[in-house]
A and B are shown apart, each in its own frame.
Chain A
Amino acid sequence: MSGKEKNVGLFVTCLVDLFRPSVAFAAVKLMSEAGCSICVPERQTCCGQPAFNSGDMDDSRAMAKMVIEEFEHFDYVVAPSGSCAAMIVKHYAELFEDDPDWQKRAIDLSHKTYELLTFLSDILGVKKVDAVLNSKVTYHDSCSGLRELGIKSQPRNLLHAVEGVEIVEGEKAERCCGFGGTFCLKYSDISTRITDDKCDDIVKTGADLVLGGDLGCLMNIAGRMTRRGETVEVRHIAEVLAGMTDDLAPISQGGK
C-alpha cells in the first residue's frame, strides 16, 4: 500500500459474503480504481442489525464490539449496503449508552464508516466509471440508506456515468419493498403484499432492470419477481458500475 492510498476496510456484510460475493469484488474494483487499498479482515460476519431490530441488545453489543475491534484502525470503513452502514453509523453508539469507553470507540468508527455509493460519490469524488450497459434501469431506494444516510442522488449520479444506461424513476421508488429483515419471515403475507406493490411499480416503469444498494431488499424483490414470472432483472448497482453484468446472472435468475 503506497502512502497516498486510502486504507479502506471492507465490511463485506453477511448477505454479500454468502450469496453475492461478486458485489464485494465490484466494490473492491471500484474503490481500488479510485485510489484505495482494500483490506478485508477475516474476523467479520454480521453487523448485528437483525439482533438489534429484534430487541436483542446483548447479542447486538457483542457483534458491534467485534466490528469495532476489527475496523477501528482503518482510515475508512465501507459496506456495500445502506442498512449495515446505517447500523454502524447511526446505531452503534446507542448500544453503549451505559459504557462510555465503548461508546467513544463506536462514535469514532461511525465517523469513518460509509455506504459504498456515498463513499464513491461524496468522498472519492468518482465521476466516471468504466462500464457499458445498454439497458433501461430503475432504482429502488432502500429505506435505511435513504432515510438514515440520505442516499438518493449518489447512485443516480454514478449510473449516469455508465454508457448506455437510461434511468426511469418508479413512482414509489422510495417506498419500502416489504423486506424489513426478519419482518418478511414473521409477517410473510403482509410482506408479500408490500413486495407486490413494489414489483408492480417497477414493472410499470417499463425498465429491464431494477437496481439497488441493499442485497436484502434485492433478494426479496428478485425472489418475488421470478416467482411472479416477471422478466425484470434485479441486481446490486455495484455490479453495473463495475461492468460485471456480462459474466454474472441477475439475482434469482440462472443461466450465466
Chain B
Amino acid sequence: MELNAHNFKENAAKALEDKDLQESLAKLGTGFPLKRLAAAARLPEFEALRDQARDIKDHSLRHLDFYLEKFESRVVESGGCVHWARDINDGREIVYDICKSVGAKTVTKGKSMIGEEMAINEYLEEKGLIPIETDLGEYIIQLRHEPPSHIIAPAIHLRKSHVEEAFRETHTDLPVDRNLDAPEDLLKEARAMLRKRFIDADVGITGANFMVAETGSTVIVTNEGNGDLTQTLPRVHIVLCSIEKVVPTLEDCTTLLRVLARSATGQEQSVYTTFSTGGRHEDDPDGPDQFHVVILDNGRSRMLGHETHDMLRCIRCSACINHCPVYQSVGGHAYGSIYPGPMGSVLTPALYGLDQSCDLPNASTMCGKCEEVCPVRIPLPKMLRSWRQKQWEDGPVPLMQRFGMSAWAFWAVRPKGYHFFAKIKMRIMGLLGRKNGHFKSLPLTKAWTKSRDFPAPEGKTFQQLWSEKGGRRS
C-alpha cells in the first residue's frame, strides 16, 4: 500500500462523517476491550506474564544477530531455506523468484502484515500471478481493492452490506437471486470460493507471529484455519516475517502466545496455533516440498539502539489500537498506513520517514491507555513524544504552532510580565463572560469554539487575589 499518512487530517475528517464506519467503530470500542479485560481477569498471573513477555523480547533484541543466525541454521537443518530481504523490493523479488522457479500460477495467502508492507499481492499480480487472500477479512478487502484498516481485523470498517455487495460483484458465476442476508450465507459462499483456490494453489504464503531460534520453527495464530490450508496444501510454503519476530525458545514462544490472544481478542488462545518446522519430512503424510522463510528488515535494524528501539518488542496484538480513543473515532484508513493507531504512529515514521507521516505522532491525546494495555509494555506515549521532539528540532511544525508555543514559553519564564498581562486579560474576559459563564466565540480560539463554549474566567487571577489577601509568599 502506498503511504497516505500526510493526508491524515483530510482522511480523518471524512472518517468522522462516514456513518457506516462510525457504526463499525462503535462496536469495536466495546468489543475487543471488554473481552481483553475479562480474559485478563481470568488469569491471575497476567501482569507477571506481561513482564516476562517484555523481558523475552528485550533479551531477543539484545542478541538479535545471534538468534537470527541460529534460527537460520535450524531452518536449514530441517530442510528449509532462509532469505534475507533488506527492503521491500528485495522481499518482493525473492518471493517472485521462488514462485517463478516452480512455475506457479495461483498463490494463496494467509494474513501477513509483512505481506502488506511489501504490497506483495500487487507485485505478484503485475507479474501475471493470481494471489488470493484466504483470511476472510483480507479476502473481502482484496475484492474491494482496499488496504486493511486494522492489523488483526482488516475489514473491521465494513458492514455486512458491503461484503454482500463485493461478493455479488465478484462471484458472478453464482445465481443472482441467491440469498446472502445472513452472515452465515456470506461465510459459506466465501468458504466455497476459497476451497477451489486452496486446491489450485501452487504456492502458499503465510506470515509468522514468531520465529523460534531453538527449533527453526515459524508460528502463526489464526481463527479460521485458512493459514493451515494455505501452508500445507501447495507444493511450496513461503513465510514472510521481519527480523524482530525471533525468540530464543519454544518456551519463550508459548509465554508470548499466552499474552497475545488475550490482549488481542480476549481469547485464551487463538483457534489455531500452527508451528511449521521445515517442509514435508519423510514420515509426514502431507506438507509442502519446499519451505522458505523471507526475513525482512526494511528499516528495523536502524531502530535498534535508537529512540524507537522498544517498538521492536511489538507482537502485533492490536490492543493499543483497540483501546485508542483516536482510532475508535476515525478508524484505520485515516492513518494512511497499514499500521494504524498508537503502534502505527510510532512505527510508520520509523519505517517510512517522519516527513511522510508528521501528523501521526501528534494525533494522540497522550491518554496513556495504549501503554496500559500493551502486553510487552511498550512506552508508546513516550515514543510518540520522542517523534514530536524530533519534529520540533528539525522537522516541519506549522509556523503558528511554533510561534504560539515559543511565545507562551517566553512569558512563562518571565513571571512578572506574565502575571501583569494575565491580570489584565482575565479581568476583561471575566467581565465580558460573567453573565453567560462562557463565550460562544473569541478571537484566535476558533479551533476550540467551533464545537465548544469557552468557559469564562472568574475575573481576578489567583496570584492577584492571594496578594490582595496577603497570603504567605515565602
Contacts and interface: CB of A to CB of B under 8 A. Distances in A.
Interface string B11-34: 011001000000000000000000
Contact of B329 (A22, A185, A190): A190
Contacts of A176: 325, 365, 367, 369
Interface residues of B, number: 68
Q: Choose among B13, B411, B466 the residue with the greatest number of A CB atoms under 10 Å from its CB.
A: B466
B438 A253 contact: yes
Contact of B405 (A45, A54, A147): A54
Interface stretch (B217-225, B286-294, B454-462): B454-462
Interface in B204-262: none
A63 B457 contact: no
Interface in A12-30: 12, 14, 16-22, 24-25, 28
Given A66-B413, A180-B365, A24 B462 contact: yes
A50 B392 CA distance: 13
Contacts of A1: 472
B443 interface: no
Nearest to A255: B437
A21 B365 contact: no
A199 B362 CA distance: 24
B405 A184 contact: no
A187 B12 contact: yes
A254 B409 contact: no
Interface stretch (A102-110, A117-125, A160-168, A215-223): A215-223
Contacts of A66: 412-413, 415
Contact of A17 (B13, B326, B368, B422): B422
B161 interface: no
Nearest to B324: A176
Contact of B401 (A54, A63, A187): A54
Interface string B425-468: 01000000111111000000001101111111110111101110
B66 interface: no
A250 B365 CA distance: 25
B90 to A, nearest CB: 34
A242 B395 CA distance: 47
B165 interface: no
A207 B120 CA distance: 53
A19 B455 contact: yes
A251 interface: yes
B409 A62 contact: yes
Contact of A185 (B419, B434, B447, B461): B447
Contacts of B438: 222-223, 226, 252-254
A4 B448 CA distance: 46
Interface string A188-203: 1111111101000000
Contacts of B450: 188
Contacts of A179: 365
A44 interface: yes
A56 interface: yes
A144 B366 CA distance: 9
Given A53-B385, A223-B454, A252-B455, A193 B329 contact: yes
A46 B408 contact: yes
A75 to B, nearest CB: 14
Contacts of B391: 55
A157 B68 CA distance: 53
A57 B389 CA distance: 7
A55 B455 contact: no
B456 to A, nearest CB: 8
A227 B437 CA distance: 12
B452 A194 contact: no
B409 A175 contact: no
A39 B470 CA distance: 11
A251 B455 CA distance: 6
A33 interface: no
B364 interface: yes
Given A55-B388, A57-B392, A176-B369, A40 B472 contact: yes
B446 to A, nearest CB: 8
A148 B371 CA distance: 11
Nearest to B326: A190
Given A19-B458, A223-B453, A226-B438, A42 B329 contact: no
A101 B361 CA distance: 31
Interface in A198-244: 219-220, 222-224, 226-227
B365 A178 contact: yes
B180 to A, nearest CB: 32
Contacts of A252: 437-438, 453, 455-456
B352 interface: no
B259 to A, nearest CB: 19
Given A41-B474, A147-B372, A182-B401, 5 more contacts: A24-B466, A45-B412, A55-B387, A175-B325, A226-B453
10 contacts: A12-B463, A17-B461, A20-B458, A45-B413, A45-B419, A56-B389, A189-B12, A194-B365, A222-B455, A223-B454
Interface of B: 9, 12-13, 16, 325-326, 329-330, 362-369, 371-372, 385, 387-393, 397, 401, 405-406, 408-409, 411-413, 415, 418-419, 422, 426, 433-438, 447-448, 450-458, 460-463, 465-467, 471-474
